[in-house]
Amino acid sequence: MTTDTARPVDTLDAATLAKRQSDLRNYILVTGAYWADTLTDGAIRMLVLFYFYQLGYTPFQVASLFLFYELFGVITNLFGGYLGARFGLKTTLFMGLGTQLVALSLLAFAPPSLLVVPYVMFAQALSGIAKDLTKMSSKSAVKLVAGTTQGQLYRWVSLLTGSKNAIKGLGFFLGALLLTLVGFQPALFILAVLVLVGLISAVLLIRGDLGTANAKAKFTQMFSHNRAVNMLAAARIFLFGARDVWFVVGLPVFFVSVLGWNFWQAGGFMAAWTIGYGMVQAATPGLIRRRVEGAREPDGRTATGLAFGLAAFPAAIALALISGFAPALSVVAGLLAFGVIFALNSAVHSYLILAYTDSDKVAMNVGFYYMANAMGRLAGTVLSGLLYQLGLQWGASGGLVLCLWASVAFVLAAGGLSLLLPAHTGPRTKPIKLTDLGE
């Protein structure tokens, strides 16, 4: 009798253990696929930027190479959540990795005569689609494979999100280094092999469907009707525009053309900045959690104060460059400080997007929020090349100075929009989880 009752318990324990092992394997594979795509995404950016600048393209022409990348990032953020719900996350994960492989192959195996602006813009459009499909799929899939255990979910999501900027920063450095060591197309071939390994591993080893496809998912659910969410999304556009208006084209071109740095030095600084930004951002949710448990949650006033405080840093760097004070020191030190406050501001935004909505609407509101994020990157990318080129008429540093003043204007706009955010978060129908924090 005792033996009979023990068997179901043993069977249940074995099944539970097998399920946990399967979930852990899927988590490792999904994270590895995300890392492979993120690493190559950062590397492609540096390869394309420095290679075409070296060929004599103007800053605006270089920026135009990324136009479709950012534009299709906006579109993919808009449609990605809908596709994931409609066809399943495993399908969209494989689509993202496969699309990145195609984008890399188009550049790696093209004859030199094809490496012109329209062709590269098309390849970059595919890369932008790949990046956001993979990001959406992997972040959503982790929530599914982590199960319902709160502590495990927090650890797994934190590891995936916290690693993103470190891996992307390494990608910046890897791209610049490969361009120096092996050249443009051999570097792209190496990156294509990396993505191919990640795709094959995911296809062969991931078990289960990573969620169930929902044929009834509606595209109209992606748009927000919440005023606070809409104001926050608008502020997000200007916040990320304020970063990319100097970071995407202006800064790396300034390092190479004005300070005389080589490609791997410029890529190394941008890698360090991105990794440091990620470290600060990863620490911010812990600070937020302690404040939630204590006296007061971050709110619209927190975002407003951080935004207006952030404006001081690009203004100070611009004034230092105009006065001729130690350009390298002014830019490096000033942008490191900018990165710290920017990371705090970004993390508060990621908290507020959850605080301003009920849990049953988080998915569509976060998707809408990331679309705004991509729109800010798009605006910043275009303006970075255009303003840098226009500013050169006022001297070698004039291009970066003009980009920095545009950054000031963008940050002030973000602060002004943040004034319209609710000072306190309202009651919710369901509890908000800090594990849902995005990038």
Asked if domains 1-212 and 221-439 share a fold, the reply is yes
Q: Nearest 5°: phi and psi at 173?
A: -65, -45
Specify whether the backbone of 372 is left (phi greater than 0), alpha (psi in -120 to 50) or beta.
alpha
Per residue in 132-148, pLDDT (tens digit) is 888 777 666 555 555 54
CATH topology of domain 221-439: Growth Hormone; Chain: A; (1.20.1250)
What's the pLDDT tens digit per position in 292-348? 444 456 778 888 998 999 999 999 999 999 998 999 999 999 999 998 899 888 878
Residue 130 has pLDDT above 80, yes or no: yes
Q: Which amino acid makes up residue 42?
A: G
Largest CA distance in the chain: 91
How far is it, in rounded angstroms, from Cα 439 to Cα 36? Answer: 17
The domain locations on the chain are 1-212, 221-439
pLDDT in tens, 37-56: 889 999 999 999 999 988 88
Q: Quick one: average pLDDT of 355-372?
A: 64
Cα 313 to chain centroid distance, Å, stands at 22
Instruction: Output the CA torsion 435→136→162→381 (10° steps).
Output: -130
Burial label for 145, CB within 10 Å (0-12, 13-18, 19+), is buried
Q: 355 CB contacts (<8 Å, ≥6 apart)?
A: 297, 298, 299, 425, 432
Question: What pLDDT is stored for residue 431 in this prediction?
Answer: 41
Distance CA 64, CA 286 (A): 38
In one-letter notation, the amino acid at residue 85 is A
The predicted-structure confidence for 382-426, as pLDDT tens digits, reads as follows: 999 999 999 999 888 999 999 999 999 999 999 999 998 887 655
DSSP 223: S
Work out the average pLDDT over 216-226. 56
Assigned superfamily of 1-212: MFS general substrate transporter like domains (1.20.1250.20)
pTM (predicted TM-score): 0.76
